[in-house]
Amino acid sequence: MKSAKLERTDGTGCHVPLSARLRVLLPLPLADSYDYKNVINKPALPPGSFVLVPLGRRQVIGVVWDDAPDPDLPDARLRSIESVIDVPPMTATLRRFVDWVAAYTLSTRGAVLRMAMSTPSALEPRAPQVGWRRAPHPPEGARITPPRRRVLDVLAEGEGRAGGEIAGAAAVAPAILRGMADAGLIEPALLPRHPAFALPDPARSGPALGPEQDVAAAALRAAVQRREFSTTLLTGVTGSGKTEVYFEAVAACLAQGRQALVLLPEIALSTQWLDRFRGRFGTAPALWHSELTSRTRRETWRVVAEGEAPVLVGARSALFLPYPDLGLIVVDEEHETAFKQEEGVVYHARDMAVVRARLSNAACVLASATPSLESTNNAATGRYAGVHLPARHGGAALPDVALIDLRRTPPERGRFLSPPLVAAVTETLARGEQAMLFLNRRGYAPMTLCRTCGHRLRCPNCTAWLVEHRAQRRLQCHHCGHVEAPPEACPECGTAHSTVPIGPGVERVLEEATALWPEARRLVMASDTIPGPAAAGAAAQAIQRREVDLIIGTQIVAKGWHFPHLTLVGVVDADLGLAGGDLRAAERTFQLLHQVAGRAGREEHRGHVLLQSFAPEHAVMQALVSGDVDAFMEAEADDRRPGHWPPFGRLAALIVSAEDERAAERTARDLGLAAPGGEGVEVLGPAPAPLAILRGRHRRRLLLKTRRDIAVQPLLEAWLAKVVVPGNVRVQVDVDPVGFL
C-alpha cells in the first residue's frame, strides 16, 4: 500500500479508469479481493462473473466481487483478466452468503468461496455434442435405399439426434449415416443437452394425508407460497410422517418454479428416503454428497447453476451450490451433529441453512422427532414457527420403553447381554419378528489391555485407545486412521499372548448373538460394514423382505429407517454417551436413544425397547421411559439457563495446536493472557484438550462464553489481533462449538 501511494505522488497516477477495474475474489484462503483490469468486456462485467486471472505465475478462476476497486492502486500493478468463463454468474444471494458465512465463522471469504466452487472442472467448457438431422434441402435424385429410408423416418421429427441413437433406432450401420451425409441427405446438428434431472411432478398425488398431517402440510405450503423468509420447526413423534408432510412443501415450491434443497445427515445411506421421493414425485432428485464421481459432481454443479435441478438432496456442502432461485430448504433430523463441519471452515449447516433461506427469501423447515434445544428455544420464543404431529401414522402405537438395571441383573461374566434382554430377543425371534441390538461403537473392543502389566494399547499419534477390529485382524485409531496388527506379545512387558479385549463393540455383540441364537439370520450395520448407498440399499431390502432376523448396529441404524417387522430394540449400553463433560451429553444421549427406540413397532405390532443401564434413575433414562420429549427439554433448558449456557448464551472455542508441545502451550498461554473480559464475558482455559494429541499435534483449548446479547465475532477478532501466532502453531476458531474434544 505504501509503495502505491509513493508511486502516485511521483506522478505515475491511475490511467485505467475505475470503470474498467474489477475486484475479484479468489478461492484461496485470503480475506480480500484483488484488483484486475477488464480489457476484455466492455461495459464492465457484472459481479458474480467467473473469470480466469493471473496470480503470480499461476492462473486462477475467481469471481468478480462487489467490493469497490482501490483507486490508489497504480496501473503498473494492475494485471488483466485472461478470460471470462462461460457459466451463469454467481448470484448476489450466494455472494452475500459467502460473505456472511465468512464473517460469522471468522474464516476468510476466499476459503468460503472455495466451498462454493468445490468442483473446478464444472467451470471448464463442456464439449458440445454433435449429431445428425435431415438436410432441409436434399439434392434431387439422391438414391434412397431402404436403410436410408429408415434413417429419414427416424429423423422425421426435425430435431437432431445422436449418431448411435439413430443407428440403433433405424437398425443401420454407422457407415450408412456417413454415406447419407456425403450424399447431402442429412447434416450435422448441435444436440440439445439433455437435462440431467427430470422435473419432479408436484401434481402427482402422494399418499392421502391424515387430518393432523394435512394441517401441518397446509402450514408448510403456505410458508412456501408467501415467497418470503420464514423458519418452521416441524416436530412429531417417530413414524408420524414428517417426510410425507414436508414433501408437500417441496411440491408447493416446485409449483412456483423455484428450487428446493433437502439436507439429510447421512445422504449416502438414505436409500429408503430416495424410494419415497420417487414414489411421491415420479422421478429421482439430484444428489450431492462426497461419494459422487467427479463426472457426476461436474454435471450436477452445472445443472444446478443453470436452474435445471428442481430438487436437490444433499449433505451440508449442498448449501453452497449455485441455485438461481431457491424457494425452500428442509433440514431433516435437524438435531444431528453431522451437520456441523469441524475442519476448514467450521460451520453448522442447520444454522447456515436458515441464513441462506433468509438471503433467498425462502422458507426453511427444520424437521426432527427430537429437536435440538437451540431450535426448541427458537420456536418457544416465536423466532421460528412450530408445527407438530402428535401421533404415529396409521394408528401405530409408540413403543413401550423399559429399563434393565445392570446392577441387579448383570450379564454373565464376559458377556454383555443381560438375561432379561436375552429372553426378550429369544421371544421376539420365536414370534417371527425382527429384533435390533444397538451399541454405538464400531469394532470388537474399544480397548486392549495386557493382563500381566496393565499396559493399554494406544495410538502413537493421538490420545486415544486403539480399537480392535477382529474381523480384519487389526487395531485401529478412530481419530487418525492409524492401523496396526494385533501384537503377539505385550509391547510393554513382552509377555506373549497376554493382551485381552476390554468392553464391547458391535462385532463382539455379534459374537455373543451368534452363540445365543445360532439359527437367527444376523446383519451388522456400522459405517465399516455399510460403506455406501449400494450396501445400505441391499441391507434395507433384506430387512424389509424379512431375510434378516437380528440387526446389530451403531448409530447408523438410529436414523430415519422404517422397518415394518422390527418390534424389539435392545440398547446394549444406554449410559455410553453420558460420560465426559460435554454440555450436551444428556441431550445427545436422549436424542440418539429416542431415535433408535423409534425404529420399533412402526406398523401393526407394538414395539418394545429395553435399555441396559447402570444408572436407571438418571434423568435421561427416565425421560426415555416416559417418552416425554417436552418435559425433558424443559428440564435441560432449566439446567442451562442460569449459567448462560447455549442456547441462553454464546460460546466460541479456540483450538491451539502444534507438533511442538511447548509452542502450543506458549500460544495458548499468550491467548489466555490476552483474553477479553468485562460484563457478561468469560474465558475458560487454556487447558489441554480431552484429545490432547491428535494426528501428532498437541492441542490446547480456550472457551469464550458470553451473554446471548453479546456478539462473539468482534471479541474474537480483537482478541486474536493481540497475539502473534508463530507459523508452526495453528489456532482454529469454532463459533458455536458442538464438540469439545
Q: Does 243 bind ligand ATP (CB under 6 A)?
A: yes
The annotation status of 14 as a binding-site residue, yes or no, is no
Q: Does 656 bind Zn ion (CB under 5 A)?
A: no
- Residue 235's binding partner out of Zn ion, ligand ATP, none, with CB under 5 to 8 Å set by partner kind: none
- Residue 462's binding partner out of Zn ion, ligand ATP, none, with CB under 5 to 8 Å set by partner kind: Zn ion
Instruction: Name the minimum Å distance from CB 567 to ligand ATP.
Output: 15
Long-range contacts of 286-292 (CB under 8 A, 24+ apart): 286/196, 286/197, 286/311, 286/312, 286/313, 287/312, 287/313, 287/314, 288/312, 288/313, 288/314, 288/315, 288/317, 288/318, 288/321, 289/314, 289/315, 289/317, 289/318, 290/315, 290/317, 291/532, 291/533
| Helix%, strand%, coil% for the chain, nearest 5 | 35, 25, 45
E-strand stretches of 74-217: 79-80, 83-84, 130-134, 186-190
Instruction: Tell me the C-alpha distance between 49 and 323, whole Å.
Output: 15
**Residue nearer to ligand ATP on the CB measure, 36 or 561:** 561
Q: Does 560 bind ligand ATP (CB under 6 A)?
A: yes
Q: Does 213 bind ligand ATP (CB under 6 A)?
A: yes
Range 473-492, binding Zn ion (CB under 5 A): 477, 479-480, 482
- Residue 106's binding partner out of ligand ATP, Zn ion, none, with CB under 5 to 8 Å set by partner kind: none
One of 23, 95, 242, 297 touching ligand ATP (CB under 6 A): 242
Q: Does 309 bind Zn ion (CB under 5 A)?
A: no
Beta bridge partners of 649: 707
Residues with Cβ within 8 Å of residue 596, at least 6 apart in sequence: 436, 438, 555, 557, 558, 569, 571
Binding-site residue total for ligand ATP (CB under 6 A)?
19
**Residue nearer to ligand ATP on the CB measure, 48 or 236:** 236
One of 38, 105, 231, 238 touching ligand ATP (CB under 6 A): 238
Please check whether residue 266 is in contact with residue 561, taking contact to mean a CB–CB distance below 8 angstroms: no
Range 175-194, binding ligand ATP (CB under 6 A): none
**Residue nearer to Zn ion on the CB measure, 247 or 465:** 465
The closest alpha carbon to 337, from 383, 374, 392, belongs to 374
Instruction: Tell me the C-alpha distance between 618 and 515, whole Å.
Output: 32
Q: Which three cell numbers stand for residue 274?
A: 430416495
Cis peptide before 446 (omega within 30 of 0): no
- Residue 737's binding partner out of ligand ATP, Zn ion, none, with CB under 5 to 8 Å set by partner kind: none
Phi-psi region of 323 (alpha: psi -120 to 50; beta: other; left: phi over 0): beta
The annotation status of 493 as a binding-site residue, yes or no, is yes
Instruction: Tell me the C-alpha distance between 109 and 32, whole Å.
Output: 7
Q: Does 256 bind Zn ion (CB under 5 A)?
A: no
Q: What x-and-dash track marks residues 136-155 binding ligand ATP by CB under 6 A?
A: --------------------
Per-residue CA distances from 695 to 482, 658, 659, 734 (Å): 9, 10, 9, 19
Range 364-393, binding ligand ATP (CB under 6 A): 369, 393
**Residue nearer to Zn ion on the CB measure, 122 or 477:** 477
- Which amino acid belongs to residue 198? A
Q: Does 591 bind ligand ATP (CB under 6 A)?
A: no
Residues with Cβ within 8 Å of residue 716, at least 6 apart in sequence: 106, 652, 654, 704, 733, 735
One of 283, 317, 337, 461 touching Zn ion (CB under 5 A): 461
Instruction: Name the minimum Å distance from CB 238 to Zn ion.
Output: 35
Per-residue CA distances from 252 to 198, 225, 308, 326 (Å): 17, 7, 17, 12
Q: Which three cell numbers stand for residue 339?
A: 451437520
Q: Does 209 bind ligand ATP (CB under 6 A)?
A: yes
Count helices and strands (H / E) in the chain: 20, 32
- Residue 598's binding partner out of ligand ATP, Zn ion, none, with CB under 5 to 8 Å set by partner kind: ligand ATP
**Residue nearer to Zn ion on the CB measure, 337 or 461:** 461
One of 170, 189, 459, 523 touching Zn ion (CB under 5 A): 459
One of 35, 70, 244, 299 touching ligand ATP (CB under 6 A): 244
Q: Does 495 bind Zn ion (CB under 5 A)?
A: no
Instruction: Name the minimum Å distance from CB 441 to Zn ion.
Output: 16
Instruction: Name the minimum Å distance from CB 221 to ligand ATP.
Output: 15
The closest alpha carbon to 401, from 629, 560, 168, belongs to 629
Residues with Cβ within 8 Å of residue 227, at least 6 apart in sequence: 256, 327, 361
Stretch that binds ligand ATP, among 79-87, 237-245, 285-293, 477-485 (CB under 6 A): 237-245
- Residue 276's binding partner out of ligand ATP, Zn ion, none, with CB under 5 to 8 Å set by partner kind: ligand ATP
The closest alpha carbon to 178, from 193, 170, 167, belongs to 167
Instruction: Name the minimum Å distance from CB 467 to Zn ion.
Output: 10
Instruction: Name the minimum Å distance from CB 479 to Zn ion.
Output: 5
C-beta neighbour count of 473 within 10 angstroms: 9
Give the binding site for ligand ATP (CB under 6 A): 207-210, 213, 236, 238-244, 276, 369, 393, 560, 562, 598
Give the binding site for Zn ion (CB under 5 A): 459, 461-462, 477, 479-480, 482
* Residues of the binding site: 450, 453, 459, 462, 477, 480, 490, 493
